[in-house]
Amino acid sequence: MTSLGSDTFSDLCAKELELCGLKETEIVAVLTQGDERLEYADAFLGAAERLGATAFHVRLPRQSPNLGGDVGSWQVGTTPLAANRPAVEALKAADLVIDTMFLLFSKEQLEIQEAGARMLLCMEPIEHLVQLFPNTNLRERVEFGGDLLGKASELRFTNKLGTDVRYRLGSYPVITEYGYTDEPGRWDHWPSGFLFTGGADDGVDGKIVIAPGDIIYPFKTYVQTPIHLTIESGRIVDIHGDFDANLLADYMASFDDEKAYGIAHIGWGLNERARWSYLATDRRGLGMHGRSFYGNVLFSTGPNQELGGTNDTQCHVDIPMRGCSLYLDNEPIVVDGEVVVEEMKAAHLVKSA
């Protein structure tokens, strides 16, 4: 298990706040719920004070176990913050909001961002925060990918089991996640290391075959048997296969929501320190090793309001897939799970000139 060495967690949070460009004139708010992650609040508040900023803590009395993805189904978009206007207003007054409860996909998050606050989600186990601590090189490579994705009009990805699906792009912005944020109104997640966008609402078509070894979140499991999905005009119209397909189909049906069959974000992972195998021995947290690992194609279903879309289903499934090939306007970006664009390659894989 990775340790902090001689640093304390608050020291690590101070380094994170420095990456976030925190200034002495700025205000940091830390959001927690119930008795969860109070040590995160203490660490960030202490770090912010040491850096000379003004800091405060918003602690919601009620806890929603569904947001952490550990208990019950992982229901996104509806949080206890929605019923607490004074707390929303307090958070909007900050320059930087540290969210330890998962506001992503909620209207309140968008409102806070629109007020100009930059937002950082931080809820993974401390060891994961250490292992995947961000740096400027990761940011540069993720932003390079974001520029490529933003210029493309079509994304296609395939794998050896028969996946061949096309996304018509241009309807939604590109979102980069590299683990810190220093721009007003911008959201990020520590830890991460990937980028994505969404296809047009009716512009995703093809077949996806989720392969053994691919990961399904929020199940936090490795697929054992192929899952065949048919997607037409941005909707999953068929799910078939054996055990894993039945499990996924039943999970989606449990929401009793047609919007659960929509297609959410699509992109690829660039964090060479994130490990595909990590989940085999550590199932804590949301699972950012699995979502971020280098060369994965991160396919997802359900809501797209984080991109500005209208699908607000609470059923969100993230599926990091291995060994895929991904093309932007027919140009290869990832081939058989390997990033092939020099500017996005991990430093140890870049050929010296």
Q: Which residue number, 300 or 313, has a Cβ lying nearer to Fe ion? A: 300
Half-sphere exposure of residue 28, counting CA atoms within 13 Å on the CB side? 31
The whole-angstrom separation of Cα 269 and Cα 178 is 10
Closest approach, Cβ 135 to Fe ion, in A, equals 23
Cβ pair 170, 328 in contact under 8 A: no
- How far CA 258 is from CA of 137, 194, 211, 339, 353, in Å, comes to 41, 28, 25, 35, 52
Q: Which residue number, 69 or 241, has a Cβ lying nearer to Fe ion? A: 69
Scanning 16-24, 129-137, 224-232, 299-307 for contacts with Fe ion by CB under 5 A, the matching segment is 299-307
In 3D space, the residue among 291, 317, 281 whose CA is nearest the CA of residue 127 turns out to be 281
Cβ pair 56, 48 in contact under 8 A: no
Q: With binding defined as CB under 5 A, does residue 16 bind Fe ion?
A: no
Cβ pair 196, 232 in contact under 8 A: no
Closest approach, Cβ 238 to Fe ion, in A, equals 22
Cβ pair 223, 212 in contact under 8 A: yes
Token pair 């969210």: residue: 99
Residue number of the CB atom closest to Fe ion: 318
Scanning 132-140, 282-290, 317-325, 330-338 for contacts with Fe ion by CB under 5 A, the matching segment is 317-325
Size of site (CB under 5 A) for Fe ion? 2
Q: Which residue number, 40 or 196, has a Cβ lying nearer to Fe ion? A: 196
Q: Which residue number, 66 or 300, has a Cβ lying nearer to Fe ion? A: 300
Q: With binding defined as CB under 5 A, does residue 318 bind Fe ion?
A: yes
Q: Which residue number, 55 or 123, has a Cβ lying nearer to Fe ion? A: 123
Closest approach, Cβ 317 to Fe ion, in A, equals 8
Q: With binding defined as CB under 5 A, does residue 311 bind Fe ion?
A: no
Question: Which residues 70-109 are close enough to bind Fe ion by CB under 5 A?
Answer: none
Q: Which residue number, 244 or 318, has a Cβ lying nearer to Fe ion? A: 318
The whole-angstrom separation of Cα 255 and Cα 252 is 6
The whole-angstrom separation of Cα 350 and Cα 353 is 9
Q: Which of 66, 300, 304, 311 binds Fe ion (CB under 5 A)?
A: 300
- How far CA 189 is from CA of 101, 175, 208, 316, 338, in Å, comes to 12, 11, 27, 17, 24
- How far CA 104 is from CA of 126, 156, 248, 304, 351, in Å, comes to 20, 26, 22, 11, 38
Scanning 41-49, 96-104, 165-173, 311-319 for contacts with Fe ion by CB under 5 A, the matching segment is 311-319
Q: Which residue number, 113 or 300, has a Cβ lying nearer to Fe ion? A: 300
Closest approach, Cβ 126 to Fe ion, in A, equals 22
Closest approach, Cβ 296 to Fe ion, in A, equals 13
Scanning 34-42, 73-81, 108-116, 316-324 for contacts with Fe ion by CB under 5 A, the matching segment is 316-324
Closest approach, Cβ 266 to Fe ion, in A, equals 10
Q: Which residue number, 26 or 201, has a Cβ lying nearer to Fe ion? A: 201
What is the sign of the dihedral through the CA atoms of 182, 334, 295 and 75?
Answer: positive
Q: Environment class of residue 281 by beta-carbon count within 10 Å: exposed (0-12), middle (13-18) or buried (19+)?
A: exposed
Closest approach, Cβ 26 to Fe ion, in A, equals 29
Which residues are at the interface with Fe ion (CB under 5 A)? Answer: 300, 318
